[in-house]
Chain A
Amino acid sequence: MTATIPLPVRGGCTDLPIAPASNATQLPVLKERGQREVFCGLTGIVWLHRKMQDAFFMVVGSRTCAHLVQSAAGVMIFAEPRFGTAILGERDLAGLADANDELDRCVEQLLARRPDIATLFLVGSCPSEVIKLDLSRAAERLNERFFPRVRILNYSGSGIETTFTQGEDTCLKSMVPHLPASTSTTPELLVVGTLADVVEDQFTRLFRELGIGPVHFFPPRRARELPPIGPNTRLLLAQPFVSETVRALQARGATLLSSPYPFGVQGTNAWLRAAASAFGVPESRVIEVTRAPAERASKALARFRERLAGKRLFFFPDSQLELPLARFMHHECGMELVEVGTPYLDRLLMEAELPLLPGTITLSEGQDVEKQLDRCRAARPDLTVCGLGLANPLEAEGLRTKWAIELVFSPIHGYDQAADLAELFARPLERSSRLTV
């Protein structure tokens, strides 16, 4: 792991400040425990199943789990989606041997019906963990029967273990032991964290122009096409919630490139430079390749900066994207940060982001939703980023809100999405300025 923050050497308005705005690494963290208005890790299935189209996600849980995934996703568009729930019944609770047999039966039934499935994830839930239904042994047992036609993996998406986007982390981590060993003697880049395909393609083009390669993405578009991993693998993180996965990849010899996340022009600049410096790409080449898209993005961004500058922003904890997004909204859109809440703070993954946050903010970790609502009401920010359970109630109290979940489901990374990202924040303000009723 490298400890250097690959801050740009070039000055100018499109770069992150060379001297950190504050020493926010030492910023006090308000740690809270209490009611959390956050999804559990099962929700990750909603985007993971779209990303890996040859995979099926089978939650082993309760009716609540099934109801959660369907309500959170609202994706009732497929009669046969690539996810489902093996709902535990009273009989399963009575005897564990039976529960294992029942699980095997459900998997058989599914695989018979869906011969297209190449990878099956057994996803643990709160009830399956509390009754200690061992899904890793189940996966082992089932692999003996179904591998290589189907690879069966398991991970936990339970609310007692994971919060919202951590479900992606535990999913990816479950794939790490199966990544083929890389035989490469020169550096390879592995981008970690789900990106929308369109964004992945944009980054692929930029890396190619920079002469960086080979480049792999994790998760891959097909769960069967696993990227190689080895001592020459350099990890560049696209999502700030892949903590455990990064550590597992490091254990397989990979090196983490520390960088801010690719949100906004500055974030994307710094992110690409982190890769460039690891691959010995000269700065002149980086400028050459990134100038046009960066300028285009800055121009597009300017329009929203007008609407957003000086407005006060409050983040409830949700997707773990809060810190990098707050940094972007502050540095590139001129917003004032009131409170930045995050479900948990992983200092390794936030190493390059923390110093970029202003020292005046409240940085909170975890949640006691009632107390946080009290703080939010007292601060009366211009815009509050929160989950869907809180948005309408806060709107009714006269606060403008931005649904956090949209930030997870939308393509927001990279140059060409920088303005889209700002627009998501500007829209509620724009809307409120239009309405007269």
Chain B
Amino acid sequence: MQLTLWTYEGPPHVGAMRIATSMEGVHYVLHAPQGDTYADLLFTMIERRDRRPPVTYTTFQARDLGGDTAELVKTCVRDAYERFKPQAMLVGESCTAELIQDQPGSLAQGMGIPIPIVNLELPAYSKKENWGASETFYHLVRTLLLPQVPAPGTTREPRPGDRRPRANLLGGTLLGFRNRDDVKEVTRLLHALGVDVHVTAPAGATPELLQRIPEADFNICLYPEVADTTCRWLERSFRMPTVRTVPIGIGATRDFILEVGRVAGIDVQPFLDRERIGQATMDSSQSLLPWYSRSVDATYLTGKRVFVFGDATHVKAAARIAAEELGFTIVGLGTYSREYARDIRELGAKYGVEPVITDDYLDVEQAVADAAPELVLGTQMERHIAKRLGVPCAVISSPIHVQDVPARYSPQMGFEGANVIFDTWVHPLMMGLEEHLLQMFREDFEFGDGAAPSHLASVHGGAPAGASATAAVVAPVDEAFERPEPASIVAEITEPDLPVIVPTTPAMTSAAAVVSATWLPDAERELKKIPFFVRGKAKRNTEKYAIEHGLDRITVDTLYEAKAHYAR
């Protein structure tokens, strides 16, 4: 039993719903009690879907439990088949149904329904959403393709010379971060390279289309959390190679193009010739990111302290972009995808930070507070953490909110994706020149700590790190109840709650821990001159330094000695 306040991932059957809802011609019969239909609104509200998810819930009740819940499954399967006439059906159970052991999948398979029926067994008490999506996609593909699997030892026919190479794009789903536009962007990129996209799945595919997967020459695993298991099976069974580089960021996109060239057996060099690595100008790349990043305004991005958290794929990509393409310093990173813990540990080692592998929101909040970043790149959950700590944030990964499904085209992948990322990450930060002015004139009352970038009046809201508790206290506690936002799933309620436990900010942790070092007034005044986003860290370091050196009073000199000490 684990006490949880917020979860990053839903249960595995929600992952299965993502596959079913991303496709056409698939119907999912879910053995589940009343209430589990809440998952429909993830799609109808967050993704603003104009159709209901193709899911039938058996809706059993307590009074059914002594009776024949198995019969209920059969009725639902039959009714759903007759009403929706799907090409394939998924049949599975949610957490409660797993306990009553009706085996709905096997039951359905025994009903003589003339379409492929996939029996989904997704253990709800040990696995989670992304795993559920991955398993569902794999079992669906496997069920549909099993009859086509060639005998062991069969070699693949080489591609006829007069046919362009064909690739399948695998892994894009609803509720995945910007998957809709990523699929479009990668399709466009491949087209420009001379590669045809054969099947895109799960998003936009039908069971009929899935059966044509082996006609392509290779697969592109766009989102390993969902498609890796399937790609591995296709490698083993059909000898189809997989392109594994996820093209998020300039470097990764270039690597992706090289890998596609190698796997497809085509010359991508002419295409990459435009990519003049290390010599950025306005037209040195198909993206403006390299030049924008080298333009002098971007100097202020140098060494910005960032904290990166999300699913493994987006964290890996974001860390590389942050470090190599924007010149940030990574002060913390982590993932809730335990399946990829090893990769993220390696990433942590590369950037010299202890990775946070957890799905406990409070641990992440503590890690963010401790790292004192100037920018948080995270999920919707980190956006809330950042808001409380008064730190700017950009969302880079699921779980998402209705805001993360913009109307405009905004991919993360490919060259256009890099442009989108530059804008999205840099926007929450101070504008370059503006920040220099703030530094120069910080004694001026108009440029006080509370001054937010003028283009972002609401980012800091006058509540810098360490002051969030104060901000929370003055907000009316009842506001969310009395003046609710319409259906809060889509509308952000911003009123903070009255936290009885004050959030532990760096400054407060130290204040509680340090009893022997006292700040002298001069030193305290000097401390206030330090920009608020690093002040907590400076305070804590100084106090730590003071204790370690047996100083019971902190002077201006102590402050600067500590600064020099920790600067190393």
Contacts and interface: CB of A to CB of B under 8 A. Distances in A.
Interface of A: 34-43, 47, 50-51, 53, 58, 60-64, 66-68, 70-90, 92-93, 99, 102-103, 105-106, 109-110, 113-116, 126-127, 129-131, 158-161, 163, 196-198, 370, 387-393, 395-396, 403, 405-406, 409-411
A109 B2 CA distance: 10
A353 to B, nearest CB: 24
Interface string B29-53: 0000111111111101100111110
A79 B482 contact: no
Contact of A50 (B45, B51, B61, B481): B481
15 contacts: A34-B59, A35-B76, A40-B36, A64-B13, A70-B6, A70-B7, A77-B497, A79-B503, A82-B497, A110-B3, A115-B500, A116-B500, A197-B481, A388-B40, A389-B44
A54 B555 CA distance: 43
Given A88-B1, A159-B34, A389 B493 contact: no
B407 interface: no
A373 B291 CA distance: 55
Contacts of A103: 1
A109 B49 CA distance: 40
Interface stretch (B124-132, B180-188, B409-417, B426-434): B124-132
Nearest to A113: B501
A43 B487 CA distance: 13
B478 interface: yes
Contacts of A79: 5, 361-362, 365, 384-385, 388, 499, 503
Contact of A77 (B40, B99, B384): B384
A63 B95 contact: yes
B41 A53 contact: no
A115 B490 CA distance: 33
B484 A114 contact: no
B412 to A, nearest CB: 22
Interface in B358-406: 361-362, 365, 380-381, 384-385, 388
A219 to B, nearest CB: 12
Nearest to A33: B59
B482 A62 contact: no
Contacts of B59: 34-36
Contacts of B62: 129, 158, 160-161
Contacts of A72: 38, 41, 489
Contacts of B4: 63, 66, 84-87
A395 B50 contact: yes
Given A64-B36, A159-B33, A130 B96 contact: yes
Nearest to A387: B41
B482 A411 contact: yes
Contact of A406 (B36, B480, B487, B496): B487
Contacts of A395: 50
A76 B482 CA distance: 17
A72 B37 CA distance: 11
Contacts of A370: 79, 83
A62 B493 contact: no
Contact of A393 (B44, B76, B480): B44
Contacts of A66: 4, 6-7
B272 to A, nearest CB: 42
B481 A51 contact: yes
B60 interface: yes
A197 B380 CA distance: 30
B1 A106 contact: yes
A66 to B, nearest CB: 5
Contacts of A387: 41
Interface in B1-32: 1-7, 9-11, 13-14
Contacts of B487: 74, 388, 403, 405-406, 409
Interface in B43-95: 44-45, 48-52, 56-62, 65, 76, 79, 83, 94-95
Given A40-B33, A79-B503, A393-B51, A63 B65 contact: no
Given A105-B1, A127-B95, A80 B499 contact: yes
A86 B36 contact: no
A50 B478 contact: yes
B477 interface: yes
A84 B3 contact: yes
B7 A63 contact: yes
Contacts of A392: 44-45, 48-50
Given A64-B124, A70-B6, A130-B96, 4 more contacts: A79-B503, A84-B3, A86-B3, A160-B33
B10 A63 contact: yes
B454 interface: no
Contacts of B100: 130
Contact of A388 (B44, B56, B58, B494): B44
A39 B37 CA distance: 7
Given A36-B37, A74-B488, A92 B1 contact: yes
B158 interface: no
Contact of A62 (B65, B95, B362, B477): B95
Contact of A89 (B2, B5, B493): B2
A409 B488 contact: yes
B489 A71 contact: yes
A392 B52 CA distance: 8
B161 interface: no
Nearest to A115: B500
B35 A39 contact: yes
B486 interface: yes
A67 B489 contact: no
Contacts of A403: 486-487
B44 A87 contact: no
B497 A81 contact: yes
A80 B1 CA distance: 19
A81 B44 contact: no
